[in-house]
Amino acid sequence: MRTKQHGQPRNTYVNDKQRQFLESTQKRRTFVGGRGSGKTTVAGHQTRVEMNYLPRAKSFLAGLTYTQLTSNTLPAMEAAWQVHGLREYDPKTGFGHYVKGKRPPSDWIKPHQPPSNYENVISFLNGYTIQMLSMDRAELARGGNYDTGHIDESALMKQDHVNKILRPMIRGNIYKYPDSPYHQTFCDYTSVPWLPSGQWVFNTEDLAKEDPENYFFLESNAYDNVAVLGEKYLRDLRNGMTPLEWDVEVMNKRLTKLPNSFYPSFSEEKHGVWKTYTYVHDDETGLTHSIDSDRDPKRLMELSFDFNAAFTSLILCQEHGNEFRMLDALWVKQSSTTVVDALVDKFCDTYESHERKELLIYGDRNGNNKQVGSNLTLYQTIQQRLATRGWKATVMVQGLDPDHRLKHIAINQLLAENNPRLPLMRFNRNKCKFLIISIQQSPIKPDWTKDKRSESSSIDQERATHLSDCFDNIVYRKYGHLFGQAQTFEKVYFLGRD
């Protein structure tokens, strides 16, 4: 592609799929691309073109969270801008083309509609401006007036937020750029969705077939960008991934919906929560940083474990009134010590700042068995290791595992939310992505048992049924009594007893 820098043409390499996207003139465009295909880079190229041809225009860059935008999206876009010769403004030298999160120099051209403040705003010297929007606070984005719009990882967003909040805001300055093919374009860039809620991104594909003059849809995989990535990179990437992860994440293949789910009452839209962060402005960088808002640091937390030699996992939960919140999912696949010790250390490191160091422990009943060569059970080992890090833990696991049919019925009655006396299950969609995938991808057998063949397959094990077992183990043991389902007890080993 060719842009101009200081009036001189500048050639920049793009792959064929990126070129197709950048040369398209449709106002609505979608780029669905696998890892390494260059979809975020093309967003950088596209905004550079807009900066060139739409001076003083204002665009938005929307993501699920500010963390996603500042940590993942913006660095890739800046790399594309730098290929075009653009540099971030340096106040010491007075040289540069854009500033982030700060009021631009007074002698720079202002946009037609300047922002009320410059927090999370990128300003270019010719007045072109990008406002970053975090859609986990979608209501705060309402009412804007923009000339173009871009969404990164759109499959993570709610379709309603895109259609009812973002798209209507592209309405600005229609008479300022009457002949520009770039004005009022709306572009989204995303990977293939793992979850059903993201399937809406393929709507542009159908619309492009019906109305190709106004809609453009493009798919790409990493091999479309092999000239940049190199064959060796792709070989190494494939060797380090499972076939499913390779197909979806790199080769951009679509997933099919699971028809025979163990959790038919689960709804990602109903049970998942995006608003799990509060934001703090960093005066030094001008950008916004996130902290957890769904976790109360003064309240005890609850862990649920699932033990496997090659994949030991836990989920972190907390009660909030009538809500039972799944806050995080952690796992360890290998360790220089033991996977259990490594997982406990990972939890302690992650939540060192939690004020109330008190835990309830749930999980696999096999954790109550004594370990070979030790007088301690797995849960006692966990308790001791937590104690060395300042945590007090109480083990809540007693008895046999429940009948599969009773467990299936009870959990799905909880998820159905038809009884106001039952607690509500809520999942942090930012940190529990793989727990949600595990639940969505758990089949049921004719005998009411969960089909757990994924645990012995080549699938990436965070997408297998392990994490859903963590969910079962805590939810049924906590709330099974609400359905009149008594647990069957067996011998439990306690510290200091035979």
Q: Does the residue 260 lie in any domain? A: no
Residues 458 and 314 in one domain: yes
Residues 225 and 285 in one domain: no
Distance between CA atoms of residues 241 and 223, nearest Å: 16
Q: Does the residue 435 lie in any domain? A: yes
Mean pLDDT of 312-339: 94
Residues 455 and 335 in one domain: yes
201 pLDDT band, cuts 50/70/90, is very high
Residues 240 and 296 in one domain: no
Which amino acid is residue 492, in one-letter code?
V
Select the more confidently predicted residue: 79 or 493. 79
Lowest mean pLDDT among 117-126, 153-162, 215-224, 235-244: 235-244
159 pLDDT band, cuts 50/70/90, is confident
Of 187, 222, 250, at which residue does a domain stop? Answer: 250
Distance between CA atoms of residues 234 and 222, nearest Å: 8
Residues 237 and 95 in one domain: yes
399 pLDDT band, cuts 50/70/90, is confident
Distance between CA atoms of residues 460 and 139, nearest Å: 36
Residues 280 and 349 in one domain: yes
Q: Does the residue 120 lie in any domain? A: yes
Kindly report, residue by residue over 50-66, the tens digit of the pLDDT: 999 999 999 999 998 88
pLDDT at 186 over 60: yes
Determine the pLDDT at residue 348. 97
pLDDT at 7 over 80: no
The rounded mean pLDDT for the chain is 87
How far is it between the farthest Cα atoms of the chain? 84
Determine the pLDDT at residue 206. 86
Determine the pLDDT at residue 319. 96
187 pLDDT band, cuts 50/70/90, is very high
Determine the pLDDT at residue 88. 95
Distance between CA atoms of residues 81 and 21, nearest Å: 17
Kindly report, residue by residue over 217-251, the tens digit of the pLDDT: 999 999 998 888 898 989 888 888 767 678 888 89
Of 196, 221, 250, at which residue does a domain stop? Answer: 250
Determine the pLDDT at residue 9. 56
Mean pLDDT of 80-109: 94
**pTM of the full structure:** 0.59
How far separated are the first and last CA of the chain, in Å rounded?
75
Determine the pLDDT at residue 5. 52
Lowest mean pLDDT among 126-135, 292-301, 361-370, 403-412: 403-412
490 pLDDT band, cuts 50/70/90, is very low
How do 28-33 and 186-190 pair as beta strands? parallel
Residues 239 and 305 in one domain: no
Q: What CATH code is carried by the domain that includes residue 159?
A: 3.40.50.300
Q: Does the residue 497 lie in any domain? A: no
Q: Does the residue 311 lie in any domain? A: yes
Q: Among 10, 84, 71, 74, which residue's Cα sits nearest to residue 45?
A: 84
Q: Does the residue 429 lie in any domain? A: yes
Specify the number of domains making up the chain.
2
Determine the pLDDT at residue 141. 64
Residues 346 and 223 in one domain: no
Provide the token pair at 128. 């072109």
Residues 136 and 231 in one domain: yes
Residues 330 and 214 in one domain: no
Residues 224 and 360 in one domain: no
Select the more confidently predicted residue: 287 or 477. 477
pLDDT at 495 over 50: no
Determine the pLDDT at residue 492. 35
Residues 193 and 336 in one domain: no
Determine the pLDDT at residue 151. 96
Which residue range is the domain that position 202 belongs to?
2-250
Select the more confidently predicted residue: 241 or 74. 74
Cβ-count burial of 319 within 10 angstroms (0-12 exposed, 13-18 middle, 19+ buried)? middle
Determine the pLDDT at residue 486. 46
Determine the pLDDT at residue 493. 34
Q: Among 303, 324, 486, which residue's Cα sits nearest to residue 378?
A: 303
258 pLDDT band, cuts 50/70/90, is low
Q: What CATH code is carried by the domain that includes residue 331?
A: 3.30.420.40
Determine the pLDDT at residue 299. 95
Determine the pLDDT at residue 388. 96
Q: Does the residue 257 lie in any domain? A: no
Q: In this structure, what DSSP letter does residue 89 have? A: -
Q: Does the residue 256 lie in any domain? A: no
Q: Which residue has the tokens 């009412």?
A: 143
Lowest mean pLDDT among 22-31, 137-146, 324-333, 461-470: 137-146
